[in-house]
């Protein structure tokens, strides 16, 4: 099964490396060509364009920043869907929201291409280990055909319904992640303001009743915000909360915690942290907090 992967950012690159290591014939493409080097070193062929990648792939995976990026790569006469052979499966693993997922699924169907929205929970470390969790929407037969590929990237694949179901579930999960992130930041900075060493406070949080994989793998980002590598940019989490709020708004469902977390991420982005890891909200609290100039 020939696999193509489009988007070699923080998540896409380790996913490409896993697919190559698992032995799938792999072709990759990234908008900024300079980012393709490490995937080529891992054994992938670098395509000259996204449509060229599509022509030679049985399964095409996209891992891109947002819905606009996914639409720009997949849609239209010069897009990937037009270039795919009938029967190809396109799996979008980005976080794009259910409306975009349903639109793209309809366009894919017109090309006799099966589209799965399969966004993931977990970050760079889990992408490297292949232990992400995929939330999948789309036709059941395509999910089964895609499972060998998804199994290399994820430890669990939940098929939740038709197109858009995976995308909607991902937004629900990210409310929980964003709220946890904000709560860790507030708990940590409160402990620090009481004179407790940051690392000691974090050890307690990581051993507390709400200890979780997230609390563990964000340790470096919270302890050493200046030097820890960026795993998930603040601007991307703000995008996800905006999507969640836009899904909820027409239903009248209030999401007060998600709304507050989005507003705080907005402030962080405005303060220059947009490309910083979203754990930067703790830094913003420190700068706004007691003793701040
Ligand atoms: N990072 C995480 O922890 C994490 C976890 C779960 C889900 N996600 C989701 O996964 C997706 C990717 O996240 P990431 O952290 O890997 O993001 P990232 O490092 O910012 O990478 C974004 C990728 O999208 C490409 N891109 C952006 N706009 C494009 C456009 N208009 N046309 C073509 N390519 C475009 C970028 O290409 P260039 O190199 O040319 O800029 C890059 O390859 C996002 O939807 C994010 O919400 C992330």
Q: Is 125's C-beta closer than 6 angstroms to any atom of ligand 1?
A: no
Q: Is 173's C-beta closer than 6 angstroms to any atom of ligand 1?
A: no
Q: Cα 224 to the chain's mean position, in Å?
A: 22
Q: Kindly state the tokens that stand for 242.
A: 């905006």
Question: Where residue 200 falls among pLDDT bands split at 50, 70, 90?
Answer: very high
Q: Is 97's C-beta closer than 6 angstroms to any atom of ligand 1?
A: no
pLDDT surpasses 80 at 290: no
Phi and psi torsions of 188, nearest 5°: -65, -45
Distance CA 184, CA 179 (A): 9
Q: What is the pLDDT of residue 238?
A: 98
pLDDT surpasses 70 at 14: yes
Distance CA 43, CA 21 (A): 8
Q: What is the pLDDT of residue 289?
A: 72
- Whether 218 is a known active-site residue: answer no
Distance CA 115, CA 70 (A): 12
Mean pLDDT for the stretch of residues 214-226: 96
pLDDT in tens, 155-188: 999 999 999 999 999 999 999 999 999 999 999 9
pLDDT surpasses 70 at 292: no
Residue 292 region, left (φ>0) first, then alpha (ψ -120 to 50), else beta? beta
* Predicted structure pTM score: 0.95
pLDDT in tens, 70-100: 999 999 999 999 999 999 999 999 999 999 9
Closest CA to 27 of 8, 276, 10, 9: 8
Q: Which atom of ligand 1 is nearest to 93's Cα? A: 10
Of 170, 218, 238, 239, which residue is the catalytic one? 170
Distance CA 5, CA 169 (A): 23
Distance CA 29, CA 46 (A): 6
Distance 252 CA to ligand 1 centre (A): 30
Extended strands (E) in 59-106: 59-62, 89-92
Q: Which residues pair with 156 in a beta bridge?
A: 133
Q: Is 7's C-beta closer than 6 angstroms to any atom of ligand 1?
A: yes
pLDDT surpasses 80 at 105: yes
DSSP SS3 for 36: helix
The DSSP 8-state label assigned to residue 293 in this structure reads: -
Q: What is the pLDDT of residue 291?
A: 62
């Amino acid at each position: 099964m020939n696999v193509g992967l489009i988007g070699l950012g923080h998540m896409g690159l380790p996913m490409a490396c896993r697919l190559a290591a698992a032995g799938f014939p792999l072709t990759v493409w990234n908008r900024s060509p300079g980012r393709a080097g490490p995937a080529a070193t891992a054994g992938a062929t670098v395509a000259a364009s996204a449509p060229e990648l599509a022509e030679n792939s049985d399964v095409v995976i996209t891992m891109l920043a947002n819905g606009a990026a996914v639409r720009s790569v997949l849609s239209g006469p010069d897009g990937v869907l037009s270039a795919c052979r009938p029967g190809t499966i396109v799996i979008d693993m980005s976080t794009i929201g259910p409306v975009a997922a349903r639109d793209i699924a309809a366009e894919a169907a017109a090309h006799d291409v099966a589209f799965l929205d399969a966004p993931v929970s977990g970050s760079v470390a889990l992408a490297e280990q292949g232990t992400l969790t995929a939330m999948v929407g789309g036709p059941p037969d395509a999910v089964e055909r895609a499972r060998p590929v998804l199994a290399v990237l994820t430890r669990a694949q939940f098929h939740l319904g038709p197109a858009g179901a995976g995308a909607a579930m991902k937004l629900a999960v990210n409310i929980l992640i964003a709220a946890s992130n904000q709560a860790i930041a507030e708990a940590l900075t409160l402990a620090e303001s009481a004179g407790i060493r940051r690392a000691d406070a974090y050890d307690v949080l990581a051993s507390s009743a709400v200890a979780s994989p997230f609390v563990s793998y964000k340790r470096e980002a919270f302890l050493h915000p200046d030097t820890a590598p960026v795993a998930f940019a603040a601007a991307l989490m703000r995008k996800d909360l905006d999507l969640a709020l836009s899904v909820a708004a027409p239903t009248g469902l209030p999401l007060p915690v998600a709304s507050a977390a989005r507003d705080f991420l907005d402030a962080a982005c405005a303060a220059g942290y947009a490309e910083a890891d979203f754990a930067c909200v703790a830094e913003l609290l420190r700068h706004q907090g007691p003793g701040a100039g």
